[in-house]
Amino acid sequence: MHLIDIGANLTHSSFQHDIGQVLQRARAQGVDQLVITGASREGSPQALELARRHPGLYATAGVHPHHATEYDGETDALLRELVAAPEVRAVGETGLDYHRDLSPRATQQFAFEQQLQIALDCGKPLFLHQRDAHDDFMSILKPVRDKLAAVVVHCFTGTRAELFDYLDIDCHIGITGWICDERRGTHLREIVGNIPANRLMIETDSPYLLPRNVKPMPSHRRNEPMYLAHICEEVARDRREDTAVTAAATTATAKAFFGI
């Protein structure tokens, strides 16, 4: 089995001491290509650094809505420089997050629009985040969708109606271990089968979102790319297909999306 984790926050400090072992464990589970999420002014150059240091790793470059207040002219220039690197395969993580509202909404919208412009200018795919902000997200994205390259709504946790809104404007969908969460992810089990195989990708969002039903449960509770194999199995079950089918399809879709 060969899997691609399209969203791993390996620049997170919890990976600093054992990144080599983390990647080795991932490879042992078939997870041999990863896209490291760049989510801040500090983290995006680090994601590129990691991608340059380890074979099979790629990066995105962006500023997450949580960090939108750091989006200024200098940040914009930095991101434009980063996205020119061949290892950087998408613009983002960007989007809107009204769930935690860590940055003012108007500031989030500004940073989102600026990064959409970068994607329009460089022609690379977009890696998007949306939580509790579907309507504003759609009204910013939809008018420019046709001029953009591929777009993924990563860590999709929304409703069936939201899912179809994204599929209607030809977005890809990233599914994480959220689907394993018996408290808040069960609705995803019913709708994941509606995602066409050529629009579905899987991701861990490590170190966040450790699937709540992995066995044995690691004592540190840190999510790692190796658990993508578990997420793939869960998604396959919900789609009523063999794990090998889901694995092959999500990998092919990720390869086409990121050009890897």
User: Which residues make up the interface to Zn ion (CB under 5 A)?
Assistant: 129, 155
Q: Which is nearer to Zn ion, 129 or 239 (CB)?
A: 129
Report how far Cα 184 is from the mean position of its chain's Cα atoms.
Answer: 19
Q: How far is the CB of 127 from Zn ion (least distance, A)?
A: 9
Q: How far is the CB of 132 from Zn ion (least distance, A)?
A: 12
HSE at residue 98, side-chain half, CA atoms within 13 A, is 9
Q: How far is the CB of 131 from Zn ion (least distance, A)?
A: 8
CB 140 within 8 A of CB 112: yes
- Dist CA 200 CA 106 (whole Å): 31
Q: Which is nearer to Zn ion, 27 or 131 (CB)?
A: 131
Q: Which is nearer to Zn ion, 155 or 179 (CB)?
A: 155
Q: How far is the CB of 39 from Zn ion (least distance, A)?
A: 7
* Tokens (6 digits) for 84: 């020119």
Q: Which is nearer to Zn ion, 129 or 134 (CB)?
A: 129
Q: How far is the CB of 206 from Zn ion (least distance, A)?
A: 12
Q: How far is the CB of 2 from Zn ion (least distance, A)?
A: 24
Dump strand ranges (E) for 15-154.
31-36, 57-61, 88-97, 126-131, 151-153
What single string gives the DSSP state of each residue in 218-253?
PTT----GGGHHHHHHHHHHHHTS-HHHHHHHHHHH
- Dist CA 222 CA 30 (whole Å): 19
Q: Which is nearer to Zn ion, 32 or 172 (CB)?
A: 172
Sheet hosting strand 172-175, strand order edge to edge: 3-8, 31-36, 57-61, 88-97, 126-131, 151-153, 172-175, 200-202
Burial class of residue 200, CB neighbours in 10 A (0-12, 13-18, 19+):
buried
Q: Which is nearer to Zn ion, 89 or 129 (CB)?
A: 129
> Which residue number is nearest to Zn ion in terms of Cβ?
129
